Structure 1
Amino acid sequence: MKQLRNALTHLLNGLAGVSFLAMVVLTCWQVVTRYLLQNPSSWSEELVSYLFAWMALLGASLVTSERGHMNIPVIVERLPGGLKTAFSVFAELVAFAFSAVILVLGGVQITSLAMGQMTSSLGVAIGVFYIVLPLCGVLNMVYTAMNIYDIVKGNIPVLPTSEEDSLVDNLKKEEA
């Protein structure tokens, strides 16, 4: 399971990095063509906006893998151990359901509807760019399933810890 998580995370990091690099190059190209050549590129701006959406959704899947999405653990921290585990599993199940219904089912519907529409300057079906929705939905579902397994097995903390908490714990250990 850990190997699958690491492989998916490595792949997503690479894809998000390539998207970011392509966005930087295309934005520079847009500036050069607009201001130096006085003939703006018609397709690069549109492609950058689609790449940004891809990068954001891939990044959201990466955050799901690390259980790093925003949470407010004030109440959960005060629960006894078994209830903390149950609440954490419940939170992961909610994320799983959201990914299944909104990203996968909704994403498949909107992608299939958009396959008949073409982008204005690229000449590509808009649905091609919307494929990221169900793709990231499936990735989120895989990650949340792995998170649930790891929570139940005790492989990861019930509540995600912040970097600040880790720093404080390390300082306390050094002082002792």
Structure 2
Amino acid sequence: MKKLRNVLTSLLNILAGASLIAMVALTCWQVFTRYILQNPSPWSEELVAYLFAWASLLGASIITGERGHMNIPIVTDHFTPGIQKLLAIFGELIAFAFSLIILVYGGIKITSLAMGQMTSALGVAVGVFYVVMPLCGILNMIYTVLNIVDISKNGVITAQEEKEA
């Protein structure tokens, strides 16, 4: 399980990092063509916007794997370790349901709907850029299952606390 988590996280870090590097390069290109060549590149601005969405969703999946999403520990700290474990598992189940319904189901619907639309500057089907939604939904579901297994075995420990231990 830990090996799967490490492989997924490494792959996502590479994809999110590559997306960030591409965004920086494309933004520099956009500035160069606009101010130096006096002929703005229309496709680079559009591609940066789509890459930003991809990087954001991939980053959210990384955070899901690390159990790093926002929480309010002051509420759960008042409970016994057993109740804290149940609340943590319940939170993971909510994240699983959200990923399944919104990201996977909704993502598949919007992706298939958008396959008939073309982007204005790139000339690519918009659905190609929306495919990240169901992809990240599936990744989030895998991570939440891994998180539930870890919580069941080890109690409520975040990935950051595990790294520090």
Q: TM-score range by the shorter chain?
A: over 0.9
Distance 1:88 1:139, change over 3 A: same
Cα distance between partner residues in 1 of 2:9 and 2:24: 22
Q: Distance in 2 between matches of 1:162 and 1:71?
A: 14
Structure 2 matches for 1:16-165, cutoff 5 A? 16-154=16-154, 157-158=155-156, 160=158
- The CA distance in 2 between the partners of 1:129 and 1:162, in whole Å, is 31
1:174 aligned residue: none
C-alpha distance in 2 between matches for 1:161 and 1:53: 25
Q: Report the CA distance between 1:103 and its aligned residue.
A: 0.3
**Structure 2 gap segments, 5+ residues each:** none
The equivalent residue for 2:12 is: 12
How many angstroms apart in 2 are the aligned matches of 1:162 and 1:104?
Answer: 27
Whole-angstrom distance in 2 between the partners of 1:54 and 1:161: 23
Q: Deviations over 1:52-86 (max 9, x none)?
A: 00000000000000000000011211111211111
State the identity %. 65
Residue identity in the other structure for 2:98: F
Query: What amino acid is the match of 1:10?
Result: S
Instruction: Check 1:12–1:27 CA distance in 2 against 1; reply closer, same or farther (3 A cut).
Output: same
TM-score by length of 1: 0.89
Letter in 2 for 1:151: I
Aligned with 2:74: secondary structure? coil
Number of matched pairs: 163
Closer/same/farther in 2, CA of residues 161 and 8 from structure 1, 3 Å limit: closer
Q: Is the 8 A contact 1:57 1:136 kept in 2?
A: yes
TM-score norm. by structure 2 comes to 0.95
- Mean Cα displacement is larger for which, 80-89 or 132-141? 80-89
Letter of the 2:56 partner, please give it: A
C-alpha distance in 2 between matches for 1:85 and 1:55: 31
> Runs of 4 or more off by more than 6 Å in structure 1?
none
What's the secondary structure of 2:73's corresponding residue? Answer: coil
Bigger Cα displacement from structure 2, 77-86 vs 109-118: 77-86
